[in-house]
Structure 1
Amino acid sequence: MTPRSARELSDGRSPVDFTEAWLRNRRLSAHTRSAYRRDVADWLAWCAATDLEPLRATFLHVNAWARALESEVDGRTGRPRSPATVARKLSALSSWYAFLLKLGAIATNPAADADRPRVDRDHSATVGLAPEEVDALVAAAAAHRGPTAARTRLVVALLADLGLRVGELVSLDVCDVGVERGHRSVRFTGKGGRPRRRALTPGVAAALDAYLDGRTEGPLLVTSTGSRMDRHAVFRLIRRLAAEAGIPGAARLSPHSLRHAFATTARAEGVPLEDVQDAMGHADPRTTRRYDRDRHNLDRDPAYAIWAARARRR
């Protein structure tokens, strides 16, 4: 069957309309949805600049775009785009074209066989934090005074004790907090639209009660005007607290730094990998291992356990 043209299929709708339809059919967090929208918009802008009809693109065009991305400097960081960023853009584009393929707008997916950069699963660009630095961050939050102090302590407690993603954090509502089998808990939608639940530590529960002060509805974290706190405010808060705590590289830290610290500390304290994986909502244990910054510590080499077991048998 010859694919219908975009005009015939969409009754005059633009590629942007396809993008919104595609995103509506994906279970994605708001943050991932925004990132994917930008990724496809970047591709469409490149197509326009090179006078290429997006629905007539081949894998050679997609490869050319990928190589162009690798040679560009990221305007936000001032550094070349990382292989992970380029790979994510190609993955988003492949998903976009797969959607068009299902609609019959194209005959093949040009991004499916594109040459994607190798992403080192053993590396993360996120700046990590040592347990002592997390303690310093918590102490800096505890020292805050004023109308936003209780919110600051709750934000840091949720990030440090639960290792939440910033998108998960700011999307929480008061009604998401409850009690299950004797545990204070919180329910939320994780990455990929998966329902998640986590237990609240006594520290988080105390910070939560102090902040809510009887409030029973609305967004969990709110601004002075009552609107939902956004991810950018959380980024600024973490960097400001890190600077107050004297943590090196404070300007490069992010809420994700606390998520990495959560995984590393949990593993160092002997929490099984599968339990850390479940807590963080990772589908692949290799992702969890990448978050464990202490995984290459020779103190954890299993050779020691084998030798000790042999010694005991003697």
Structure 2
Amino acid sequence: MRRPTASDLIPRQSGRGVAAGATPVDFTDAWLRNRRLSEHTRAAYRRDVTGWLTWCAGVDMDPLRATFLDLNEYARTLEATVDSRSGRLLTPATVARKLSALSSWYAFLVRLRAVPANPVTDADRPRINRDHSATIGLTPEQVDALFVAARADPRPSGPRNLAVLALLADLGLRVGELVSVDVADVGHERGHRSVRFVGKGGRARRRALAPDTAATLDAYLTGRAHAAGVPVDELDGPLLVTATGARLDRHAVFRLVRRLARDAGLPAWDRLSPHSLRHAFATTARAEGVPLEDVQDAMGHADPRTTRRYDRDRHNLDRDPAYRIAAARAARTAAG
């Protein structure tokens, strides 16, 4: 049977203005197909909407008739929910993200005239400190310790693991971007070694590979080609693969980062993630004097405020502009 498309859900007017025969699940399928999303984000959005629909079923309420009062009640339920992974209550940021997904879902239904208004618009959402990130960051010295641990890894996967670490630490890639790269995406461009990938929102992006990063990647690919008995230029498929040749997935990267952190003796190793290296990339780049807009472009952020939140050293008093202003004044005085 053919799956319904968005055009199938444009309502044939009924008393409630809802498409005849269309269910909330049908709307969800159409909504997700209509968005440029990574598979990871698509799955997360589906879980968020499914959670809402399950709650609605539990209180015997039609989600297509929900009001902001119902969304408020749902939000309070979420705030009292314990995360099965952490054993702690859902954070305000998590609750806000779930409500944001529902807002996007309802906005889609409004455009299809399946509901008269978006009930999330007037809901009481959690207040989020936009200057805070729950991700545990790493100092440059801690990142160096990860590289030492990776280089000392005797496993056959050691060269690949070092390549994973280099791409995360030196480029600040998101884990979804990292695992999506194919061998064909690595090449040369205007005198630079480069890598192309699909960024957040489905945007095609490219980044330069520093010499050490390129050498690490070349060593991994050379060893992989030798094991396969083919020239390097005949390799194809995913860039990062398992022992069986399958594409390395995000879960394996999470495990790898934590194992290297444990081997390196880093504190809170069991709470680190690939995103910790992305935060470290931003902090180190800014500490080395890279302009905010260049870091923003490198990380693929639409809003510079997001980039600033990744900069863990932004409140360091050593970086207070007062010092530079005073130094410049002193230099002018001396010159005069």
Q: Shorter chain as normaliser: what TM range?
A: over 0.9
* Equivalent AA in structure 1 for residue 324 of structure 2: A
Q: Following the alignment from structure 1 to structure 2, what is the Cα–Cα distance between the partners of residues 5 and 33? A: 32
CA contact (8 A) 2:296 2:304 kept: yes
Partner Cα separation in structure 2 for residue 245 and residue 153 of structure 1: 14
Q: Are residue 31 (structure 1) and residue 40 (structure 2) matched?
A: yes
1:166 and 2:175 correspond: yes
Shift of 1:216: 2.6
2:316 to 278, 297, 304: 297
Q: Which amino acid aligns with 1:46?
A: W
Shift of 1:176: 1.0
Q: 2:116 aligns with which of 107, 120, 130?
A: 107
CA 303–97 in structure 1, closer or farther in 2 if over 3 Å, else same: same
Aligned mate of 2:274, from 251, 255, 261: 255
| d(CA) in 2 for partners of 1:3, 1:261 | 53
Shift of 1:13: 4.0
Cα offset for 1:5? 7.1
CA positional deviation for 1:203: 1.8
Amino acid at match of 2:211: P
Distance in 2 (alpha carbons) for counterparts of 1:2 and 1:223: 50
Equivalent in 251, 256, 260 of residue 237 of structure 1: 256
- Name the counterpart of 1:123: 132
**1:104–1:4 Cα change, 3 Å:** farther
Residue range with higher mean Cα deviation, 116-125 or 202-211:
202-211
Deviation per residue, 1:77-118 (Å, 9 max, x gap): 111111111111111101101111111111111112211111
Superposition deviation, residue 12 in structure 1 = 2.9
* SS across alignment from 1:196: strand
The answer to whether the Cα contact below 8 Å between 1:185 and 1:199 also exists between their aligned partners in 2 is yes
Distance in 1, matches of 2:247 and 2:17, equals: 40
Structure 1 residue 207 displacement after superposition:
1.6
Distance 1:7 1:106, change over 3 A: closer
Matches within 5 A, 1:142-221: 142-213=151-222, 214=232, 215-221=234-240
Question: CA shift at 1:6, angstroms?
Answer: 8.6
How many residues are treated as equivalent by the alignment? 313
* 1:128 counterpart SS class: coil
How many Å apart are 1:14 and its aligned residue? Answer: 2.9
Q: 2:18 touches 2:113 (CA, 8 Å); kept in 1? A: no
Distance 1:44 1:264, change over 3 A: same
SS at match of 1:203: helix
Secondary structure, counterpart of 1:282 in structure 2: coil
Separation (CA, whole Å) in 2 of partners of 1:102 and 1:305 = 52
The CA distance in 1 between the partners of 2:43 and 2:14, in whole Å, is 29
Deviation at 1:4, TM superposition (A): 4.1
TM-score, normalised to structure 1's length?
0.96
Which stretch shows the higher mean deviation, 210-219 or 58-67? 210-219
Which letter does structure 2 place at the counterpart of 1:234?
V
Q: Percent identity?
A: 72
TM-score, length of structure 2 as denominator length = 0.90
Structure 2: stretches of 5+ with no match in the other structure:
1-10, 223-231
Quick one: distance in 1 between partners of 2:189 and 2:77? 51
Alignment-derived partner of residue 226 in structure 2: none
CA RMSD of aligned residues (A): 1.7
* Aligned partners of 1:4 and 1:104 also within 8 Å: no
Preserved CA contact (<8 Å) 2:106 2:119: yes
Is it true that 1:69 corresponds to 2:88 in the alignment?
A: no
Farther off after superposition, 78-87 or 52-61: 78-87
Match of 1:225 in 2: 244
Q: Which residue of 1 aligns with 2:306?
A: 287
- Residues 3 and 104 of structure 1 are in contact (CA less than 8 Å); yes or no, is this contact kept in structure 2? no
CA contact (8 A) 2:18 2:115 kept: no
Find the structure with the greater CA-based Rg.
2
AA aligned to 2:301 is: H
| SS of residue matched to 1:117 | coil
